[in-house]
């Protein structure tokens, strides 16, 4: 079982919902590649999660649609470094970033009625035109 993954100070993923496995990785490493299993597959069981809001789960499922397996688990892989420990930490951070992105606000655009926007634009235009 993995330790809990803290996404923000108030949002976390319980360690019991995370599982990981290691396999042999291609890429740099010389003969080490053929001997040591350093590639990490981190799996997050989104369906059994009780700490994330339903809206965050839905956005995560939409944003990361190609990363889910047939059982509904989100898969994050990492084979960047030559050690299991570092690859696991990188995969955990990638998962935290994905959850943060899904939990972020959907829109920061300020919506104003047409008349108010027109008045603001007209005032700006008057300020920019020099007095004749």
The whole-model pTM stands at: 0.73
Please state, in angstroms and rounded to a whole number, the distance separating the CA atoms of residues 108 and 10.
22
Cβ(27)–Cβ(62) below 8 Å: no
Nearby residues of 56 by Cβ (< 8 Å), 6 or more positions away: 99, 102, 103
pLDDT (tens digit, 9 = 90+) per residue, 72-105? 999 999 988 888 999 999 999 999 999 999 988 5
- pLDDT of res. 108: 45
pLDDT (tens digit, 9 = 90+) per residue, 6-63? 988 888 899 999 999 988 877 666 666 667 788 899 999 999 999 998 989 999 999 9
Q: Which residue has the higher pLDDT, 77 or 112?
A: 77
- To which residue do tokens 């496995």 refer? 21
Nearby residues of 68 by Cβ (< 8 Å), 6 or more positions away: 46, 61, 74, 75
Give the count of beta carbons closer than 10 Å to the beta carbon of residue 121: 10
């Amino acid at each position: 079982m993995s330790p809990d993954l803290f996404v923000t100070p108030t949002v976390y993923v319980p360690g019991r919902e995370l599982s990981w496995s290691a396999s042999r990785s291609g890429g740099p490493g010389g003969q080490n590649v053929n001997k040591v299993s350093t590639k990490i597959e981190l799996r997050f069981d989104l369906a059994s999660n009780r700490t994330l809001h339903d809206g965050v789960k839905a956005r995560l499922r939409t944003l990361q649609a190609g990363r889910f397996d047939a059982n509904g688990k989100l898969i994050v892989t990492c084979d960047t470094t030559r050690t299991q420990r570092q690859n696991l930490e990188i995969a955990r951070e990638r998962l935290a970033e994905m959850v943060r992105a899904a939990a972020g606000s959907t829109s920061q655009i300020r919506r104003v009625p047409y008349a108010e926007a027109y008045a603001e634009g007209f005032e700006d235009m008057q300020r920019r035109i020099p007095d004749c």
